[in-house]
Structure 1
Amino acid sequence: MTVARLVATVAAPLDPASADAPQVLHWSGRRLLIQRGDTELVALDLDVATAGGRLVEARFPAPWPRRFGSVTVSPEGAAAVFVGVHAVRCVEATGATRWEVRHGCWEGEQPHMHTSFAEYADDKDHRYADNGSAAFSADGKLVWAHVRGPLRDDREAENDQELWLVIDATDGRVLGRANTMTVASSSEHTPHPDPTQIGLSVGEGEEGSPVLWGRWDGQRLTIEQIDIERILLAVSPSGRHLLTVPLEQGSLSLHRVDDGAVLREVDAQGTVTAHPGNTGGDRIYWDYEAAFVDEDTVVAGTSECDAEYGTARHWLVDVQGMTLRGEISYPFPVSGPPRSAGDGTWYTVSEDQTSLHLWRPADDD
């Protein structure tokens, strides 16, 4: 059994009654805690928070409520990108819009253009629209965005395309684009330490869940499809490997980034012991989130299938052989899956979403 050491507990800056759970964005040498509310996004330096220094928060006014999309923040914490139903908008902490890329509306079978959120703010159908996502590159110079076409200035593009865009983070110029050939209900980016590449998971409901890998050579964006029914969980610190789980969550797979090939796998059933409360022999499966602690080690959870029986359980996995090192022992019960926090750590969020706990293996001390 591996003992987890609590590195720090950081209070969520916003009231969970009107905000999403806090989360961590991380890059080499930089970690931010962010939390999205209906009217604002808050970002703070996680390393300053864990060191006990004076917290300096950046607060970004939100252009639309949180149910209408997702958000990401630049590595230096100076800009937030809100991904909405009709546009991707970059906002500075002052409230100024740095740039906006308008695209086809995610609601409805035939995409159409909006000039502002106000046009559909009270329309109940738009509250349940599909959505894309965005992420900053590791160096903060690019924004990768998955949107529905067409873009505002397109004249001959097919309306039903979904596009993966490479955007200049400074001025919003679309530098590159490619058709993802997907029909998304949602998507999520997984950053890579190399700013010229990134991963994208696209949820298509019952149609599948493609994992795409994008590469930008400065002139052209190319896309490789790694799988059609998996979720991308994490990229290793070196960027050489990535971790996925299939939709049915039965196995963790280690892939080589260069060509997407599966190197090794570990099944939950038959490897992970049943929860003490699971006396009926219910299926054991992995969570939809996991974290690389280092190049050779992953923290993965079975919290979703454990939830019916009691405390969430997390496991240390040796990726060299995709073997289980054992269950992780925490000083107090944790909730939900383990999530990546960079620098050899992972985090969990308290059940009431009022605090974030940062962990590392005690034997690393």
Structure 2
Amino acid sequence: MSITAHLRASVKLPGGAALVDGFALERRGDGSLRALLRHGSELEVHDLEELFAGERAPAAVFPVPRPGWEHGGQSVSPDGSFAVFTDQRAVRAVARDGSPLWEYPHACWGCGSSPAHTDGEPEVCPGPEHGSCLVSEDGRFVWAHIVSASAAQNSREHWVLLDAGDGTELARRPLRDSTALGSHQLPHPDGAHVALDIGMGQDGVLVHWARWDGAELDGWVVSHHLDRILADVHPGHPGFLTVEDNGADLRLHGLDRTVLAEREPAEGEDEDEDPPCWDRCCGFVDADTVIASTVDSDGAPERTRHWLLDARTLEIRGTVGYPAGPVDSYVRPLGDGTWLTYDDASGTLDRWSATAV
């Protein structure tokens, strides 16, 4: 069954691919969506609705604390008054006027020295390894994935909770067996739980959940088999979506660790096609619908498919049909009934829905 997609809005946006196939889109509990786009030594913050309405000027611009560091993550407070960055050797908070607020030093992701390089050592070490950060829904805390100089309890990496006002460490959780290449974090709409997805290259993936109980970070690991990638968090009920590392299946989980539903990709129309596999970019279009893609199944753009599934059972409802033919792009659902695609050739970010406006 083909389900017709309706174009809701388009905007020319250089670098917009990071909103679809990356972690530049920040979704808050109030439903607001922000594009966090790095351009050289600056982080531009755009309200997504205003961007599609034609407002090209960013809502805020923050200087990147260490411009020579091209990796790491960033998060902006709910009120937009400050941004937090994870660079190679510290978590840093910056005010909207560009003034530094605080710094939380940690070991170097590149060489392991702590807390800072000595004279004569390079300012930035080679290597892409990095952590991530997330400002809490109420703006009071910062969740950060950091690396330590020592490996106590088989844990060189930690998940720390910081006071967003001054960077004071409030709690930490050891991340046993983690050897991160990179990570990202997603908040749960309940405002309490946060998910941490750690990519370890050929060593697999670790997905952690945690909540702060006022004294400690109480948490658990989704899978010890190192084969599940965190895709998205349900916008309404306590559930989340993961993809098997090689794309063999999607799973819907509850926060109590139960698997609520599972779905393998639909078979291809041609027997000679490579077996399809789910891409890592998938998630909740709204409370009732999941969108997933099989863009990477065989590397043929004309065979790109986007699929709509039931959000509770993961039953496949049908494939998405676009007005001008197949769209060779990953998908980024927004949780409000729409999803994004990006055209690399034209630099166009498109917003779609399965219902007409």
Return the match for 1:312 from 301, 304, 309: 304
Contact 1:234 / 1:243 at 8 angstroms: preserved in 2?
yes
Shift of 1:296: 2.1
Shift of 1:105: 0.8
Partner of 1:48: 50
Residue type at the aligned position of 2:315: T
Contact 1:13 / 1:42 at 8 angstroms: preserved in 2?
no
Matches of 1:201 and 1:238 in 2, distance apart? 20
Partner of 1:190: 186
Q: Does 1:284 align with 2:279?
A: no
Residue type at the aligned position of 1:26: R
Q: CA RMSD in A?
A: 2.8
* Map 1:170-319 → 2, pairs under 5 A: 170-181=165-176, 182-228=178-224, 229-257=227-255, 259-268=256-265, 271-274=266-269, 280-310=272-302, 312-319=304-311
Contact 1:67 / 1:127 at 8 angstroms: preserved in 2?
no
Shift of 1:272: 4.4
Contact 1:190 / 1:233 at 8 angstroms: preserved in 2?
no
* Residues 21-79 of structure 1, C-alpha deviations (whole Å, 9 max, x = no match): 79421112311122112211111111223344685431111122452322222233332
Shift of 1:117: 12
Partner of 1:25: 26
Q: In structure 2, the residue corresponding to 1:48 is in which secondary structure?
A: helix
* Residues 141-193 of structure 1, C-alpha deviations (whole Å, 9 max, x = no match): 22211110159xxxx96795211011222221222111011221211112211
- Would the alpha carbon gap of residues 22 and 200 (structure 1) be closer, same or farther in structure 2, given more than 3 Å must change? closer
Contact 1:34 / 1:41 at 8 angstroms: preserved in 2?
yes
Q: Does 1:8 align with 2:9?
A: yes
Q: In structure 2, the residue corresponding to 1:9 is in which secondary structure?
A: strand
- Would the alpha carbon gap of residues 95 and 311 (structure 1) be closer, same or farther in structure 2, given more than 3 Å must change? farther
TM-score by length of 1: 0.85
Q: Does 1:68 align with 2:71?
A: yes
Q: Does 1:328 align with 2:323?
A: no
Residue type at the aligned position of 2:264: D
Deviates more, 1:303-312 or 1:340-349: 303-312
Q: Does 1:128 align with 2:131?
A: no
Contact 2:16 / 2:342 at 8 angstroms: preserved in 1?
no
Q: What is the number of equivalent residue pairs in this alignment?
A: 347
* Residues 292-314 of structure 1, C-alpha deviations (whole Å, 9 max, x = no match): 01222101111122533436321
Deviates more, 1:348-357 or 1:93-102: 348-357
Matches of 1:118 and 1:290 in 2, distance apart? 45
- Would the alpha carbon gap of residues 294 and 160 (structure 1) be closer, same or farther in structure 2, given more than 3 Å must change? closer
Residue type at the aligned position of 1:57: A
Matches of 1:130 and 1:340 in 2, distance apart? 27
Partner of 1:164: 159
TM-score by length of 2: 0.87
Q: In structure 2, the residue corresponding to 1:305 is in which secondary structure?
A: coil
Q: In structure 1, the residue corresponding to 2:183 is in which secondary structure?
A: strand
Stretches of structure 1 that go unaligned for 5 or more consecutive residues are: none
Residue type at the aligned position of 1:12: L
Partner of 1:149: 148
Contact 1:189 / 1:199 at 8 angstroms: preserved in 2?
yes
Q: Does 1:106 align with 2:84?
A: no
Shift of 1:15: 9.6
Return the match for 1:347 from 313, 331, 340: 340
Partner of 1:36: 38
Partner of 1:360: 353
* Residues 178-211 of structure 1, C-alpha deviations (whole Å, 9 max, x = no match): 1011221211112211222111111222322111
Contact 2:155 / 2:175 at 8 angstroms: preserved in 1?
no
Contact 1:43 / 1:59 at 8 angstroms: preserved in 2?
yes
Matches of 2:38 and 2:119 in 1, distance apart? 18
Matches of 1:118 and 1:280 in 2, distance apart? 58
Residue type at the aligned position of 1:48: E
Among the aligned pairs, what percent are the same residue?
A: 35
